[in-house]
Structure 1
Amino acid sequence: MKLAVVAANGKSGRLIVKEAVARGLDVTAVVRGENETEALHTLKKDIMDLTKEDLAGFDVVIDAFGIWDPNKMDQHSATLGHLSDILSGSKTRLLVVGGAGSLYVDKDHKTMISDLPDFSEAYLPTAVGMKNSLNALRKRDDVRWTYVSPAAEFIADGERTGKYILAGEEFTTNEKGESKISYADYTLAMVDEAVSGSHIHQRISVLGK
């Protein structure tokens, strides 16, 4: 399996590359600067400069792009839209490192976590930016996409337990009433999905046990 990880030098990107390489996948790190990952292959380009030819031949492209500047939240939609356009009509699957703010808290799927009055104002711009990019992705039936949301508490330096709970569109907690997952366990779920291709045209979510 040939796998490209876009924005591979980021926190989640590096761990995704590490997990995929450990499983023997043929991994290319797509980065703007020097490759800081364990990938043996490097494609040095900005996301917005990538072409259809650049990504031809990959089985899966994982979009690990993230930005926290509240003045640049439109880049979530712009970059994901560009990747979708250049993968349109191809067999290549597009997996997206998503956010938790767009998970629904009701069965009717009318209210998201980020709509709640006690949602952190500091995280609201990012949540809205990522929600907008997800909404745009839902309209694409020309791309074989899967959007993977983490739990509400996404722990960068958390341990890799090797276990996770796979959920769907709704906010979910484990038996302890917790909604949290380490980057390492999230990465495990992401690479599992890359290998299986079980949730095309779906948003899924993962949380720790």
Structure 2
Amino acid sequence: MNILLFGASGNIGSAIADELLSRGHTVTGVTRTGRIEGAADREGLTVVAGDATDAATVADLSARGFDAVASAVGPRVGKEDDRKIIVGTAKALIEGLNRSGVRRLVVLGGAGSLETSPGVRVIDSPHFPEMWKNNALAQIEALGLYRQADHLDWTFISPAKLIEAGERTGTYRKGGEQLVVDAEGNSRITYPDYAVAFVDELEQGNAVKSRINVAH
């Protein structure tokens, strides 16, 4: 497949790019600067500059013959306006893809709106970190926008409660609206294994027009 990937230089975006390239897909990575270190030496990877919160940019880039669009855009926590970037990107993707006619969209979501018990979300916990609250609220708003985007075959992939650097095992468990936890009640996944799940969904399309949650 030929994939347009917004947010390709971040921890999660770069893991998704690596996974796509390892499976023989072609990737055009969009970053704010138009640069990814070492990109020139990576077969199948092209890098362009672009603003994911600008619908005209999304429309222009996605109209260039891509099979699907992916987004791993996220603000630097504590340093940028979470809502401006997360909700702004959602609005731009929805409008821009409507203009270009591309239907398939897979996006990095958040875990804050996942349920830990019926009617109780991760974000509702009194122990939810304050520094992540604005990010979680913005992701909840973005998910609501995607759910109204009837012209898109979207998938919103929420990671585990903890996503961090680590090895690629190639395995993960998948859930829906409930937080996926292990036998000890922990919810975690590494960047590379989240990328495995993300690319699996791009290839297989098993969760169109829905949100899924992936964890070890």
TM-score normalized by structure 1? 0.91
Q: Which residue of 2 aligns with 1:8?
A: 8
Matched, 1:181 2:189: yes
Per the alignment, residue 113 of structure 2 pairs with 102
Give the alignment of 1:22-101 within 5 angstroms: 22-33=22-33, 34-36=35-37, 37=39, 38=42, 40-47=45-52, 48=54, 49-56=56-63, 57-67=65-75, 68-69=77-78, 72-75=81-84, 76-88=86-98, 90-101=101-112
Whole-Å separation in 2 of the counterparts to 1:63 and 1:32? 13
Gaps in structure 1 of 5+ consecutive residues: none
State whether residues 103 and 151 of structure 2, in contact with CA within 8 Å, keep that contact through their aligned partners in structure 1. no
Q: What do the CA deviations read for 1:90-119 (whole angstroms, capped 9, x no partner)?
A: 343111111111111233xx3311012221
Count of aligned positions: 205
Partner AA of 1:92 in structure 2: R
Is 1:141 matched up with 2:150?
yes
**What is the CA–CA distance in structure 1 between the aligned matches of 2:25 and 2:149, rounded to whole Å?**
27
Amino acid at match of 2:36: N
Residue pair 1:58, 1:92 contacting (<8 A) in 2 also: no
Q: Aligned letter for 2:162?
A: E
SS in structure 2 of the partner of residue 16 of structure 1 = helix
TM-score normalised according to structure 2 size = 0.88
Greater Cα offset, 117-126 or 39-48: 39-48
Instruction: Give, as a single letter, the amino acid of the residue that structure 2 aligns with 1:82.
Output: A
Cα 1:7–1:142, aligned 2, differ >3 Å: closer, same or farther?
A: same
Q: Which runs of 5+ in 2 are unaligned?
A: none
Residue pair 2:106, 2:156 contacting (<8 A) in 1 also: yes
SS in 1 for 2:195: helix
